[in-house]
Amino acid sequence: MAQILDGLKVSKEVKAEIKEEVQKILANKRRAPHLVAILVGNNGASKAYVNSKVKDCEEVGFSSSLIKFPSTVAESELLEKIEELNRSKDVDGFIVQLPLPKQIDQEKIIMAIDPRKDVDGFHPENFGKMALEMDTFLPATPFGILTLLERYNIETKGKNCVIIGRSRIVGKPMSILMGRKDFPGNSTVTLTHSYTEHIEEYTKEADIVITALGDPYFLKAEMIKEGAVIIDVGITRVDDDSEKGYHLAGDVDFDSCAEKASWITPVPGGVGPMTRAMLMKNTIIAYKTSVYND
Ligand SMILES: Nc1nc(=O)c2c([nH]1)NC[C@@H]1CN(c3ccc(C(=O)N[C@@H](CCC(=O)O)C(=O)O)cc3)C=[N+]21
């Protein structure tokens, strides 16, 4: 029976450490770190995530601002706001919640963010630095997974790590990070995706499987090796008759996989809360390295 990689618990530890740092900052009569989130449109899940980021900021003692635009916003208006935040001396970091409406070129928006304030770690400059193992903001979800592996002391060196999904915010950066030269890296990485044939032939050989697909219950016990470490990044809202009207489903068939794995992340309470905690971590890193705070 697998042990749980408890993202909720570790996220609370990470946030408590950040809160302590903020208290020291305030004791030195400096302003608190400030995170800004931009939300475009009315998507239920996006609203929920952004609201939880504001809540996390309160919890660790950051200032936060939420800037909302209608889904019809012009790209130019969004770019103007980004320029303003880039210049603002009291904003340490900001994020533009994805996905964006179709009329907006996502790459153009990400490129406009000052890399020093890009606490999502999505800007190509930061992605490149990450790939070259230079100091930079790591994207929050991969950073959260690394932190979980680190805090539970999961051996990654020399292990076969299979990643499912090659998105720019999870699969692709994760594939780079698991192969890097320090802990928790040094894995032999296989990046699988929608064109991978016979995916189970890869997952069956994996010591570590990281799924980032958004396909509920995709990974079944028959597809994994005895003793594997299973990291479930998928969080899909599945409609049901409950009061909320939906429940959250991971990419992993948890009940069957938990009998075979050595370690496994739950959904909810696994990678999701870690993602949120690492955004706070990146924000305090931005604050500390900010040219305005030296
Ligand atoms: N610019 C940008 N940055 C992001 O980091 C970003 C984004 N856009 N767009 C959407 C994805 C998704 N994402 C999640 C964060 C936390 C949970 C989370 O806390 N999940 C809880 C459950 C929350 C619930 O009840 O819905 C859990 O897994 O326990 C999930 C998903 C960040 N994203």
Are residues 149 and 110 located together in one domain of the fold? no
Signed CA dihedral, 279, 250, 253, 205: sign only: negative
Of residues 15, 92, 97, 281, which has the active-site annotation? 97
Q: Is 23 labeled as catalytic in the residue annotation? A: no
Of residues 56, 92, 118, 120, which has the active-site annotation? 120
* Residue 196 domain flag: yes
Are residues 66 and 100 located together in one domain of the fold? yes
End of a domain among 71, 96, 114? 114
Give the residue whose CA is nearest to atom 11 of ligand 1: 98
pLDDT attached to residue 192: 98
Are residues 148 and 203 located together in one domain of the fold? yes
Are residues 264 and 162 located together in one domain of the fold? yes
pTM value is 0.96
CB of 202 sitting under 6 A from ligand 1? no
End of a domain among 64, 79, 114? 114
Are residues 149 and 212 located together in one domain of the fold? yes
Tell me the backbone φ, ψ of residue 50, rounded to 5 degrees. -65, -40
Burial 225-244 (b: 16+ CB within 10 A, else e): beebbbbbbbbbeeeeeeee
pLDDT at 103 over 80: yes
* Residue 264 domain flag: yes
> Which residue range forms the structural domain that includes residue 74?
27-114
pLDDT at 291 over 80: no
pLDDT attached to residue 45: 86
Are residues 104 and 217 located together in one domain of the fold? no
- Using the mean position of ligand 1's atoms as its centre, give its distance from the Cα of residue 49 in Å: 5
* Residue 77 domain flag: yes
* Residue 107 domain flag: yes
Are residues 231 and 159 located together in one domain of the fold? yes
CA distance 249 to 238: 7
CB of 216 sitting under 6 A from ligand 1? no
- Using the mean position of ligand 1's atoms as its centre, give its distance from the Cα of residue 46 in Å: 8
Band (183; pLDDT cuts 50, 70, 90): confident
What is the distance, to the nearest Å, from the Cα of residue 18 to the centroid of all Cα atoms in its chain?
17
* Residue 170 domain flag: yes
CA distance 227 to 206: 10
* Residue 73 domain flag: yes
3-class SS of residue 41: coil
Nearest to 123 by CA among 66, 169, 71: 169
pLDDT attached to residue 142: 98
* Residue 176 domain flag: yes
Element (H, E) at 39: strand 34-40
Q: Is 120 labeled as catalytic in the residue annotation? A: yes
Are residues 88 and 148 located together in one domain of the fold? no
Annotated binding site: 165-167, 235
Contact call for residues 187 and 159 (beta carbons, < 8 A): yes
Per-residue model confidence as pLDDT tens digits over 193-250: 999 999 999 999 999 999 999 999 999 999 999 999 999 999 999 999 999 999 999 9
* Residue 81 domain flag: yes
Per-residue model confidence as pLDDT tens digits over 115-151: 999 999 999 999 999 999 999 999 999 999 999 999 9
Nearest to 147 by CA among 2, 268, 287, 279: 279
Q: Is 239 labeled as catalytic in the residue annotation? A: no
Are residues 92 and 200 located together in one domain of the fold? no
End of a domain among 114, 131, 164? 114
CATH number at residue 42: 3.40.50.10860
CB of 275 sitting under 6 A from ligand 1? yes
Are residues 103 and 148 located together in one domain of the fold? no
Of residues 53, 159, 172, 260, which has the active-site annotation? 53
Residue carrying structure tokens 């303003």 = 84
Are residues 75 and 154 located together in one domain of the fold? no
105 contacts: CB under 8 Å, gap ≥ 6: 75
- Using the mean position of ligand 1's atoms as its centre, give its distance from the Cα of residue 158 in Å: 30
Q: How many domains does the chain have?
A: 2
- Using the mean position of ligand 1's atoms as its centre, give its distance from the Cα of residue 1 in Å: 28
CATH number at residue 233: 3.40.50.720
CA distance 188 to 207: 10
CA distance 7 to 26: 28
CB of 98 sitting under 6 A from ligand 1? yes
Are residues 263 and 204 located together in one domain of the fold? yes
Q: Is the ipTM value over 0.90, yes or no?
A: yes
